Structure 1
Amino acid sequence: MGGDTELLSDVLKVQNKIFYLDLKENGRGKYIKIAEKGKYRPKSSVVVPLSGLHSFIQLFDFYMNTDGPGPQSRDVVVESKVFNFSCGENDRGRYLRIFESGGGYPAGGSSLMVPAGWANANIRAFRESFEKIANWLNQTGLPPVEMSSGLALTSKPDTVTLDVSKEGGPVLSVGSKHFFFDARMNDRGRYLKIKEVSGNMKTLLVVPAHAVAKFQEAISLAMMAQPRPDPEGPGGLQA
C-alpha cells in the first residue's frame, strides 16, 4: 500500500521461512501486514485490520493447545474480510494455514503457511509477536481500538451469528459461510449487494432496491414449501 507509515516491525525466522510482521497506518486506519518469504513457495502476505488483533491472539492461543492436523478449522470475520485458520500436515511436518478472503480480492484470496514447530513453538512465536504489538499500542497511549467480535471458536457448522462490518452493513455467519449485506447506489439506482464468502470461494448477488420486498417474499414462500431432494448434494450447508 503506497504512502503507508510503518509503526512497528518484527521478523520471525521459522525453519526455512522468514515472516515479516509490520504494524502500519494509512488514511483508512492501522493494520498488520504479515508477509511470508520461503524456499518452497512464492512470497505471500495477508493484511489484518487492527480490529482483528485480539481475535488473532485468541486463535493463536487456541492452536498452541491443539494437537494433530485434525479438522480444527476456525473463521474470524474482520470488517469486510474472512480469515480461515486450519491445521494440516505434509512431508515437512505439521503447519497452521491462514487464508484471507473477501476485502479487495475479486476472487480467491491469499494464504500463509506457518510450520507449527516442536510443541507448537512457532505458533507461540506468532502469538508473542501480536502480543508485542498490543503492548506497544497500550504504551503509546493511543485511543482504544474497537476490536472485532466475529470470532467463531466453536466447531458446530450450523452456528449462526450476526455482526456488523466496518462499513455498517450486517454480516451473517452460518458455520464457515459468511454473508455480507451492503446497500449501494450507482447511476442506475439503489441496490442490495449480498456477498457470500466461504473458504477460497466468493459469490456475489445483486438485488435492485425496488425488488427487495418481493425478494424477501420469495424467500418466505420457498421456505414454506415442501423441501425436495437435491441431487447435487447439500453444498456444504447443514440444517
Structure 2
Amino acid sequence: MAEGDYNMPSRNDYDNRMQQQPEQQGSALANEEELASKTLHIQSKRFYLDVKQNRRGRFLKIAEVSSGGRKSRILMSMNIANELRDHLQSFDAHLRTLDEQSFNNDQLRSSVISRDDRKYYLDLKENERGRFLRISMVGVNTPRTQIAIPAQGIQQLCETLTSLIEEFGNEDDHGKI
C-alpha cells in the first residue's frame, strides 16, 4: 500500500454488505412497523421523516432525496430524536442572530449527540451556495451517513419532528434501534 493510502472497502463491498443485512436481520425487518411518515420539500430536496417500531422500540428515520435522486438516511431512537429537536431549536435561534451570508466557508456552530454505539454530529456550515445543517451518523462497524438540510428548512424540520415526538413520544423506547 502506498503512503497515504487507506484500506477502505470498495463501493461494491459496501453494496454487498447492505444487500446481505436484511438476510442477516431476518425477522427484525419483517417485524418492523411504520407508524407515521411526513414529507418535507426544502429547496430542491425532499426529506422523509418516518417513525417506525420494531422489537427494540420506536425509532425515527430521516431520509434525504436530492433532486438527482441520491438518497441518504440516518436512524435514531425516539430519545435521540427528542435531543435532536432541542439542538435544532438552538441552531435555528443561532441562525437568526447571524448577519446575511459572509461566505467565509466556515463552520458556524457544531454539536455532538453521543448515545450507546452511535454518534450524531450536527454542523451548521456556510459555503458559496448558502447555509446548511449537516447531520452525520457514525456507528460501530457502519459507514458514516449524512444528510444536509438547507438553513431555510431547519425550523420546518424542527416543527415536524416536534409533532412526531408529541404523537409517538418515548414510550416503548429502549434507547436502541
- Establish whether TM, by shorter chain, passes 0.5: yes
Which residue, 90, 103, 118 being the options, matches 1:81? 118
Residue 90 (structure 1) aligns with:
127
Residue 61 (structure 1) aligns with:
89
Give a deviation string over 1:53-74, Cα, whole Å, max 9, x none: 2211111011101235544110
Q: When the two structures are aligned, how many residues end up with a matched partner?
A: 139
Give a deviation string over 1:177-226, Cα, whole Å, max 9, x none: xxxxxxxxxxxxxxxxxxxxxxxxxxxxxxxxxxxxxxxxxxxxxxxxxx
Give a deviation string over 1:37-81, Cα, whole Å, max 9, x none: 002572100001122122111110111012355441100013321
Structure 2 contact 41–47 (Cα < 8 Å) conserved: yes
Which residue, 156, 161, 177 being the options, matches 1:125? 156
Residues 36, 109 of structure 1: CA spacing in aligned structure 2 closer, same or farther, 3 A cutoff? same
- How far, CA to CA, are the matches of 2:173 and 2:72 in structure 1? 27
Question: Shift in Å at residue 91 of structure 1?
Answer: 3.0
Structure 1 contact 51–78 (Cα < 8 Å) conserved: no
Residues 59, 80 of structure 1: CA spacing in aligned structure 2 closer, same or farther, 3 A cutoff? same
Residue 111 (structure 1) aligns with:
146
Structure 1 contact 24–31 (Cα < 8 Å) conserved: yes
List runs of 5+ in structure 1 lacking aligned partners. 148-165, 167-239
List runs of 5+ in structure 2 lacking aligned partners. 1-21, 23-28, 99-105
More helix by share: 2
- How far, CA to CA, are the matches of 2:146 and 2:138 in structure 1? 9
TM-score, reference length from structure 2: 0.70
Matched, 1:18 2:49: no
- Structure 2 residue matching 1:66: 3-state secondary structure: helix
**RMSD between aligned alpha carbons?**
2.2
Residue 101 (structure 1) aligns with:
138
Residue 58 (structure 2) aligns with:
30
- Structure 1 residue matching 2:135: 3-state secondary structure: strand
Query: Which one has the largest radius of gyration?
Result: 1
Structure 1 contact 86–96 (Cα < 8 Å) conserved: yes
- How far, CA to CA, are the matches of 2:59 and 2:155 in structure 1? 21
Q: Counterpart amino acid of 2:82?
A: H
Alignment of 1:220-231 (within 5 A): none
TM-score, reference length from structure 1: 0.53
Q: Percent identity?
A: 25
- Structure 2 residue matching 1:72: 3-state secondary structure: strand
- How far, CA to CA, are the matches of 2:124 and 2:48 in structure 1? 21
Q: Counterpart amino acid of 1:91?
A: E
- How far, CA to CA, are the matches of 1:44 and 1:100 in structure 2? 11
Residue 9 (structure 1) aligns with:
37
Structure 1 contact 49–79 (Cα < 8 Å) conserved: no
- Structure 2 residue matching 1:39: 3-state secondary structure: coil
Structure 1 contact 97–113 (Cα < 8 Å) conserved: yes
